[in-house]
Amino acid sequence: MEKKVLIIFGTRPEAIKMAPLVKEFKKDKSFNTKVCVTAQHREMLDQVLDFFEIKPDYDLNLMKPGQNLYGLTAAIITGLQPVLEDFQPDFVCVHGDTTTTMGSSIAAFYSGAKVCHIEAGLRTYNKKSPFPEEINRTITGHIADYHFAPTQTSFDNLEKEGIASKNILITGNTVIDALFESVSKVDTIEDPEIKKLKEELDFTKRIILVTGHRRENHGQGFINICNALKEIGESVENIQIIYPVHLNPKVQKPVYDILGKQDNIKLIAPLAYPAFVWLMNKCELVITDSGGVQEEAPSLGKPVLVMRDTTERPEAVDAGTVILVGTNTKKIVDEALGLMKDKKRYKLMSKLHNPYGDGKASIRIVKFIKNLV
């Protein structure tokens, strides 16, 4: 008898990383697969749904401007009850470490479904960094029945925490599945955003691509980051800093206040995934606090400065393609300028490196779940 799978996600990065899995499950007719979005994000989620042509079967439409963790968590758990009671899935797949991940895994556990955690086992062992993600993924890791770990390090973390190894599979990260699929498309598709970037950006200049949104960086952290970008922009000739600004008002305000009028810094709206991948491929350096971008950029041979003090993704740091710079203005400026000026060092850091997968993570996940049935 066909088994029912419910794939739940809510934010931009979860959608990007779940899209290949949705496709893989839907190809297999031994599963009845449905998608539920909490819409913890709205516009940024819809950009991804459009590109990957995913039409959710359930949409909780939860996002509220300036939402907080208390209300969001409660709304996810109560919002999922009717969905779980209606569809009665055998398996629920959740991804990563957002509030959607944590709330959905609790609700799925209450429903009696088997919980499958994709991108399992990432840890900093610092509950304040990243906040609240470290605790979200730890809770989900202890609720989940099956754990899909992207790397050996994440597998080891789960084993250390007492998870039986027979329930953990090392798969690579589905972010690479999505990246490989998209990289091959972006140079050939007619994409209006890419067309606009080609018209508006000066590709004779040296391009630095920036993203940032982490909660622990809100406040002084973002002020430091913006001051650093301002200084970098003023210190290097022929530079263009492109920053698609996350829609969180706690990010928008300092970024537009401090950088809104800088000549060589271009603040733009969040890009849809294909245009972002295209731009990442074209830039010289990435400065970010994002989890996903930290995984994608090394696979494209782009050096990354990560504006965090800790990372749950040590693999690229160990390989030398990622440097942690925190939110210290001087450190960000020194590392960025050092790399822009020292060709030898730049070359060493921009070696193509791909510790996060081979593009077949989703195939492995579906095969594993199929063998359980």
Catalytic residues, which ones?
97, 119, 133, 213, 215, 246
Q: Which is nearer to ligand UDP, 24 or 133 (CB)?
A: 133
Contact letters for ligand UD1, residues 122-161 (x by CB under 6 A): ----------xx----------------------------
Per CB under 6 A, which of residues 39..68 are in contact with ligand UD1? 40-45, 63-67
* Among the listed residues 291, 326, 355, 359, the single contact to ligand UDP using CB under 6 A: 291
Among 188, 199, 249, 263, binds ligand UD1 (CB under 6 A): 249
* C-beta closer to ligand UD1: residue 10 or 364: 10
Q: Does 327 bind ligand UD1 (CB under 6 A)?
A: no
* 254: contact with ligand UD1 by CB under 6 A: no
Min. distance of Cβ 371 from ligand UDP in angstroms?
A: 29
Nearest residue to 298 (alpha-carbon basis) of 346, 355, 339: 355
* 38 forms part of the interface with ligand UD1 (CB under 6 A): no
| Residues between 278 and 307 with contacts to ligand UD1, criterion CB under 6 A | none
Instruction: Show the 3-state SS of 98-121.
Output: CHHHHHHHHHHHHHCCEEEEECCC
Q: Is 194 near ligand UDP (CB under 6 A)?
A: no
User: Of ligand UD1, ligand UDP, none, which one sits near residue 108, judging by CB under 5 to 8 A according to partner kind?
Assistant: none
98 interacts with ligand UD1 by CB under 6 A? yes
Angle separating helix axes 273-282 and 174-186, nearest 10 degrees? 80
> The tokens 């970024």 sit on which residue?
255
CB atoms within 10 A of CB 189: 11
Closest distance of CB 251 from ligand UD1, Å: 7
> Interface mask (CB under 6 A) for ligand UDP, residues 209-238, using x and -?
--x-x-------------------------
Residue placing its CB nearer to ligand UDP in the complex, 177 or 296: 296
Residue 273 in the binding site for ligand UDP (CB under 6 A): yes
Which tokens is 214 given?
A: 């982490």
Nearest to ligand UDP of 40, 224 (CB atom): 40
In the block, residue with structure tokens 């960025």: 336
Our CB check for ligand UD1 shows the closer of 124 and 240 to be 124
Contact partner at residue 276 from ligand UDP, ligand UD1, none, CB < 5 to 8 Å by partner kind: ligand UDP
| Window 311 to 370, contacts with ligand UDP (CB under 6 A) | none
Q: Is 248 an interacting residue with respect to ligand UD1 (CB under 6 A)?
A: yes
Q: Does 296 help bind ligand UDP (rule: CB under 6 A)?
A: yes
With helix as H, strand as E and coil as C, how does the chain read? Answer: CCEEEEEEECCHHHHHHHHHHHHHHHHCCCEEEEEEECCCCCHHHHHHHHHHCCCCCEECCCCCCCCCHHHHHHHHHHHHHHHHHHHCCCEEEEECCCHHHHHHHHHHHHHCCEEEEECCCCCCCCCCCCCCHHHHHHHHHHHCCEEEECCHHHHHHHHHCCCCHHHEEECCCHHHHHHHHHHHHHCCCCCHHHHHHHHHCCCCCEEEEEECCCHHHCCHHHHHHHHHHHHHHHHCCCEEEEEECCCCHHHHHHHHHHHCCCCCEEEECCCCHHHHHHHHHHCCEEEECCHHHHHHHHHCCCCEEECCCCCCCHHHHHHCCEEECCCCHHHHHHHHHHHHHCHHHHHHHCCCCCCCCCCCHHHHHHHHHHHHC
Q: Are strands 168-170 and 146-149 parallel, antiparallel or unpaired?
A: parallel
CB 239 within 8 A of CB 233: yes
Smallest gap from Cβ 67 to ligand UD1, in A, equals 4
Binds ligand UDP by CB under 6 A, chosen from 5, 6, 8, 12: 12
Whichever of 214 and 230 has its CB closer to ligand UDP, that residue is 214
Which residue ranges make up the site for ligand UD1 (CB under 6 A)? 11-13, 40-45, 63-67, 69, 72, 97-99, 132-133, 213, 247-249
Residues that bind ligand UDP (CB under 6 A): 12-13, 16, 211, 213, 244, 270-271, 273, 276, 290-293, 296
